[in-house]
Chains A and B, each alone.
Chain A
Amino acid sequence: MTDHSLLQEEGMYSGHVGCPGCGATVAMKFALRALGEKTMLVIPACCWAIVAGAHPQTSLKVPVLHTAFETAGAAASGLRAALDMQGDTDTTVVAWAGDGGTFDIGFQALSGAVERNEDFIYVCYDNEAYMNTGVQRSSSTPFGARTTTTPGRGWKQTRKKNIVEALAAHRIPYAATASIAYPDDLMRKFRKAAALKGGSRFIHVYATCPTGWRVPSEMCIKTARLAVQTRLFPLYEVEDGHRYTLNLDPDPPKPVRDYMAVQGRFKHLTDADYEQIQEMVDEDWGLLKRKIGAFGNPDAA
């Protein structure tokens, strides 16, 4: 049965121009449900700069400020300041950027903004490459992936940048991961972030890109879920840069190969490669568990 009350709360119109099975649109849909209409989005160059629609149309029911690629952190700071100066402290300013605009070209502006502890939520919807320009590698592209700039035998041989740890190192009030496959957890985090007014909040959303990852569109959510179930993408929160909370412990985890084997971008990998990647995932998980053990949040549910 259709829940009409939920439909009323949708922040997106039907008819966006994302690819079929786009994880980034799923992320937006749930994020806006949690954030509500008193929200302004700042969107730099990324897939969402297109998905939101061309002039004079928009696929979003909230105001959107489109900005240049590397500016989300700074433009959102300016918009926040303008609202504050006009006495509007209710509206939540949300920078909504892809991994290129966050991990790479926008990292400086983001670092500057969160060092100032700007009062906004910065969301990185991460599809692990420059998908909008045709699947070029970013510093979020994982070890082992083929992209159009890491093609053939030149597949990416370095690790994905750990953006949440980089943001936590700025000691911001709230940094969290979220996944489109876990909408309740994702919406809870957006509500929590929205309630934590007064400082910088960062949410790293894992968002499948069927086009770039070469998975069937109907595998969008399942692929994202496998990333969590294999411990490749842990769901956790870091408050004030040091209070860690693990939200889900997949025990026992699935082998990372289960996640990677469904995607065309990894199909060249050998057994030895998979072993190496499994070791990396295990190592990262161990490191996270040590932080949670050492700095875990005793108040966490």
Chain B
Amino acid sequence: MKTVLEGSHAVSEAVRMARIQVMSAYPITPQTHIVEALSEYVAEGRMDARFICVESEHSAMAAVIGAASGGVRTFTATSSHGLALMHELLHWSSAARLPIVMAEVNRALGPGWNIWMDQTDSLAQRDTGWIQLYVEDAQEALDTTLQGFHLAESINLPVMVVLDAFFLSHTYEPVDLPEQADVDRFLPALKPRIRLDTRTPFAMSQMAPPGVYMEMRRDIQSAMERAPDHFARTEVAFEKVFGRRYGAVEAVACEDAEVILVMTGTAASTCRQVVEDLRSEGEKIGMLKLKMFRPFPVNAIRKLLGDARKVAVVDRNFSFGASGIFAQEIRAALCNHPNHPPVFGYIAGLGGRDITPDTLKEIYRMTRDTDHPQAESVWVGLTTEKESR
């Protein structure tokens, strides 16, 4: 059924139809609309779930860890400082191999206080063992949330569905809302592989001495390495029911492109338009949309970018003392590919600043007109040339 939904509520609808049993969250802008809607569904009896309204994001993650250990389907949502506060337990939940799904609305970290779009919050969690999927629009947010449960439960790793603050979370779009029966067909009730049970007592997440710890870590990586295949299977199953698929990466007009822009989130939508506009002017531009960030889809990246002419990565995030985080990862993925293309890094749209078609056209032209990157990162659209010290 086609309807008009706010991006946040597209996630809420998916969580409702996934029939999660326990969720826990703490308020933070711009995530709050997701859990407000879910609270209403629970209060109205539209969901048979318990919403644990905790006193911090740290406790929200602890509560869903407790619930998932008890063998039920769980969900939480957060942003920015909330995600940073959860950091310890992001490590905990993945190492405990719990299939938790979280919606993370990308928001800048303070100071200065900034509630707007920025990816540094989620990307700073890249080493926590969570699968990360970045989405472009409300439909993809809904679909990926449903897929997230399917994927998480197939390999016992937690999944973070990442969406842009405001550009997506607070924007209304037409969305094809699935039928509950179809969702049930795609996502049957959780059959937990591990859960606490008084009839078969055991200890979960206990001390792991040097003799066993390393193998446990290797097992997490093994699961991560299987994740791209599992995601592909999830997408096949999803497409069979709903007729839509996205891919871990999506190549747009890349075949003969002189410059390929690597994009994530809603900026990928803007880039689709830019590709169309510039192609009509005879410019050979392409786009690679990156949906899956963890595990990093190295094979797909090498296949699609390894023999490209020039790659320009647009990072709405920054790792101080290094560069844009997606650019780092793309460079690392390509470095062992023979004759790999130069990778240009651009920083744009931090803290909610717009990334307009003109921003992307400027990035395209700068890349087209330069043989080799002059710096690890070029900051685009700064209002002052000189930094204050």
Contacts and interface: CB of A to CB of B under 8 A. Distances in A.
Interface stretch (A2-10, A20-28, A58-66, A271-279): A58-66
A71 B89 contact: yes
Nearest to A111: B55
B70 A82 contact: yes
A75 B67 CA distance: 7
Interface string B65-96: 11111111010000000000000110010000
A99 interface: no
B1 interface: no
Contacts of B52: 74, 77-78, 81, 116
Interface residues of B, number: 42
Interface string B204-240: 1111110010000000000000000000000000000
Contacts of A42: 66
Given A63-B197, A68-B89, A80-B66, 18 more contacts: A49-B207, A54-B208, A58-B203, A64-B204, A66-B206, A67-B66, A67-B92, A70-B58, A71-B62, A74-B62, A77-B54, A78-B24, A78-B67, A82-B21, A83-B70, A85-B72, A86-B21, A108-B59
Contacts of B88: 68
Contacts of A76: 66
Interface residues of A, number: 46
A149 interface: no
Contact of A77 (B58, B66, B92, B196): B66
A297 interface: no
Contacts of A82: 21-22, 66-72
Nearest to A112: B55
A86 B208 contact: no
A53 B203 contact: yes
B187 interface: no
A71 B60 CA distance: 10
Contacts of A71: 58-59, 62, 65, 89
Main secondary structure of the interface of A (DSSP, over half): mixed
B62 A79 contact: no
Pairs of residues from A and B, 9 with the lowest C-beta to C-beta distance, nearest first = A82-B70, A78-B66, A112-B55, A74-B59, A71-B62, A74-B62, A78-B63, A75-B66, A78-B67
A256 B156 CA distance: 55
Given A54-B209, A75-B63, A82-B67, A64 B203 contact: yes
17 contacts: A37-B201, A39-B198, A52-B203, A53-B206, A64-B201, A66-B203, A71-B65, A74-B52, A74-B62, A74-B63, A78-B52, A78-B64, A78-B70, A78-B74, A85-B22, A109-B54, A112-B59
